[in-house]
């Protein structure tokens, strides 16, 4: 076995092999005069390392840090802080709900409290189904934005539950509304957590990353429960102290969530990140790295700019006649048809059945370029469309190569493409 040149000292001359477990300390295998081999482990800080290794084994994925993304640890630290804050404020909300339901009030009935709880759970279930139907496909595309939205909405729901006992006549309505919000939080938070787990798991270890995330959350919630046992008796008779504590913990919760989401560096392209990268490329001639683009990605709804384009729509959404289709194909040798929706006038993309992820990325890039140049009348719009086909055909190969070289993933994307696919003659129309 070859040695590492000058890296070995004279006293290491009997070393025949070194090894380590994950990112742990290196241990040496020494050859003795009688030909036997023994393992020499580091003697320093053995007790500390054994405790550290036990902690890592319990709460971090197997093979950490090499088995997860580079942003994993920073995200988990901020996520732990926000989970602790949410756990304590959740206990405050539970205290208020029990008091509003009549616990401690001799005139309250068990039946009334049970009905309130049933209505709360029932409306929440309906809200969960409707939200998943309306926004389910968008959660993958804007996982970071929806993750932050879910946590802010959770704070709103907790605040409503804390205030509910103050307005007895509206208690049931307030509790039901808060229940709907919390169920929406469950859908958005759970779905985006799954999307982030896909990003963080780098060795096909999604189950392990998810399980260890659950262990971390359980430990944090346990700590939150212990703190709540101390805090609740102190604030139970003072609503204003409860409100002040809620404001402080919620501020910490929102800040920690923002820092957690901001620390994530996604290598897949959604429309916001693609718009940011394309705009910088057209202006500076350079592709932003995933870290650079993620730092610029807006996290709050309504912020940022992106072209309103529908990808993967039915052909009938865009094309109304054979001549219309020929106009869309003029100068076009790609596996998509870019045009305008007949109902709204927004840009839309019809995908060929052989279209792959790179073709979808190219179609959105084309939509961005076309949107910047588009005219107001049909003849002008179709003329500009034909011109942009050549522009994009010339520009996109360099853009795509730059994406790959900068670390972006192009064999998959989160551009919210629908599943409609068409089949047409892809030869270029002149």
- pLDDT tens, position by position, 350-400: 999 999 999 999 999 999 999 888 766 777 888 899 899 999 999 999 999
Q: Are residues 159 and 240 in the same domain?
A: yes
Instruction: Please report, for residues 46, 49, 184, 412, the alpha-carbon distance to residue 52 in angstroms, rounded to integers and kept in the order given.
Output: 10, 5, 38, 37
* Token representation of residue 235: 């604030």
Q: What is the CATH number of the domain that holds 241?
A: 1.20.1250.20
Angle at 304 between CA 346 and CA 152, to 5 degrees: 110
Residues 6 or more apart whose CB falls under 8 angstroms from that of 407 comprise: 267, 289, 290
pLDDT at 42 over 70: no
CB 108 within 8 A of CB 276: no
Please compute the mean of the pLDDT values over residues 417-425 and round it to a whole number.
91
415 lies in a domain? no
Phi-psi region of 304 (alpha: psi -120 to 50; beta: other; left: phi over 0): left
Residues 6 or more apart whose CB falls under 8 angstroms from that of 127 comprise: 179, 180, 181, 183, 184
CB 140 within 8 A of CB 414: yes
pLDDT given at position 43 = 54
pLDDT given at position 261 = 94
Q: Are residues 145 and 32 in the same domain?
A: no
Phi-psi region of 104 (alpha: psi -120 to 50; beta: other; left: phi over 0): left
Per DSSP, the residues of 280-337 read HHHHHS-PPPHHHHHHHS--STT-S----EEES--HHHH--SHHHHHHHHBT--SSEE
Q: Is 309 helix (H, G, I), strand (E, B) or coil?
A: strand
Where would I find the beta strands (DSSP E) of 156-278? none
| pLDDT (tens digit per residue) in 135-174 | 887 888 889 999 999 999 999 999 999 998 888 888 889 9
54 lies in a domain? no
* Token representation of residue 49: 């390392």
Instruction: Please report, for residues 181, 214, 215, 244, 400, the alpha-carbon distance to residue 221 in angstroms, rounded to integers and kept in the order given.
Output: 21, 10, 10, 21, 45
The rounded mean pLDDT for the chain is 86
Q: Are residues 207 and 126 in the same domain?
A: yes
153 is in which domain, residue-wise? 72-262
In this predicted model, which residue has the larger pLDDT, 40 or 198?
198
Of residues 296, 349, 295, the one with CA closest to residue 71: 295
* Token representation of residue 131: 């939200």
Taking residue 19's Cβ as centre, other Cβ atoms within 10 Å add up to 10
Q: Are residues 167 and 190 in the same domain?
A: yes
Q: Are residues 231 and 102 in the same domain?
A: yes
Q: Are residues 338 and 368 in the same domain?
A: yes
Q: Are residues 202 and 288 in the same domain?
A: no
* Token representation of residue 94: 């539970």
Q: Are residues 134 and 222 in the same domain?
A: yes
For residue 386, say if its preceding peptide bond is cis, omega within 30 degrees of 0. Answer: no
Cα distance between residue 357 and residue 417, in whole Å = 10
| pLDDT (tens digit per residue) in 257-297 | 999 999 999 999 999 999 999 999 999 999 999 999 999 99
Helix (H) or strand (E) holding 410, with range, is none
State the DSSP code for 356: -
Q: Are residues 142 and 252 in the same domain?
A: yes
Beta-bridge mates of residue 27: 19
| pLDDT (tens digit per residue) in 296-334 | 999 886 666 778 899 999 999 999 888 888 888 888 889
State the DSSP code for 155: H
Q: Is 339 helix (H, G, I), strand (E, B) or coil?
A: strand
pLDDT given at position 12 = 47
CB 264 within 8 A of CB 199: yes
Helix (H) or strand (E) holding 28, with range, is strand 27-31
Cα distance between residue 6 and residue 288, in whole Å = 40
Q: Are residues 153 and 178 in the same domain?
A: yes
Q: Are residues 330 and 201 in the same domain?
A: no
* Token representation of residue 39: 């393992």
pLDDT at 44 over 70: no
In this predicted model, which residue has the larger pLDDT, 294 or 55?
294
Q: Are residues 79 and 214 in the same domain?
A: yes
88 lies in a domain? yes
Cα distance between residue 154 and residue 282, in whole Å = 40
Residue carrying the six token digits 């932050």: 148
Q: Domain total for the chain?
A: 3
| pLDDT (tens digit per residue) in 176-222 | 999 999 999 999 988 898 889 989 998 888 899 999 999 999 999 99
Query: Helix crossing, 239-262 with 143-163: angle to 10°?
Result: 180
Per DSSP, the residues of 197-228 read HHHHB-SS-HHHHHHHHHHHHHHHHHHHHHHH
């Amino acid at each position: 076995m070859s040695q590492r040149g000058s890296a070995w000292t004279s006293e290491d001359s009997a070393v025949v092999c070194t090894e380590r477990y994950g990112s742990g300390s290196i241990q040496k295998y020494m050859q003795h005069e009688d030909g036997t081999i023994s393992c020499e482990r580091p003697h320093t800080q053995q007790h500390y390392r054994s405790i550290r290794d036990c902690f890592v084994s319990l709460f971090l994925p197997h093979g950490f840090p090499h088995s997860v993304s580079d942003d994993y640890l920073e995200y988990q630290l901020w996520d732990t802080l926000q989970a602790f804050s949410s756990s304590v404020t959740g206990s405050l909300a539970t205290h208020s709900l029990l008091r509003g339901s009549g616990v401690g009030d001799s005139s309250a009935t068990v039946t009334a409290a049970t009905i309130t709880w049933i209505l709360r759970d029932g409306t929440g279930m309906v809200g969960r189904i409707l939200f998943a139907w309306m926004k389910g496909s968008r959660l993958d595309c804007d996982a970071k934005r929806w993750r932050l939205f879910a946590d802010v909405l959770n704070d709103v729901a907790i605040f409503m539950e804390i205030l509910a006992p103050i307005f007895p006549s509206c208690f049931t309505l307030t509790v039901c509304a808060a229940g709907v919000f919390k169920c929406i939080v469950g859908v958005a938070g759970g779905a985006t957590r799954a999307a982030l787990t896909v990003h963080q798991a780098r060795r096909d270890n999604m189950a392990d990353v998810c399980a260890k995330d659950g262990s971390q959350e359980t430990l944090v919630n346990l700590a939150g429960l212990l703190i709540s046992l101390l805090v609740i008796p102190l604030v139970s008779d003072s609503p204003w102290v409860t409100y002040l504590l809620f404001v402080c913990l919620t501020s910490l919760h929102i800040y920690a969530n923002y820092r957690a989401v901001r620390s994530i560096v996604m290598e897949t392209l959604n429309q916001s990140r693609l718009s940011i990268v394309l705009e910088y490329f057209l202006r500076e001639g350079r592709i932003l790295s995933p870290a650079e683009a993620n730092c610029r990605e807006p996290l709050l709804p309504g912020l940022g700019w992106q072209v309103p384009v529908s990808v993967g729509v039915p052909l009938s959404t865009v094309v109304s006649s054979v001549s219309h289709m020929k106009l869309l194909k003029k100068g076009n040798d790609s596996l998509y048809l870019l045009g305008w929706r007949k109902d709204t006038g927004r840009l839309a993309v019809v995908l060929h059945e052989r279209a792959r992820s790179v073709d979808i990325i190219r179609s959105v890039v084309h939509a961005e370029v076309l949107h910047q140049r588009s005219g107001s009348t049909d003849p002008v719009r179709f003329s500009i469309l034909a011109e942009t086909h050549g522009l994009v055909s010339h520009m996109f190969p360099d853009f795509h190569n730059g994406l790959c070289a900068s670390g972006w993933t192009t064999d998959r994307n989160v551009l919210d493409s629908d599943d409609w696919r068409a089949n047409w003659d892809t030869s270029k129309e002149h």
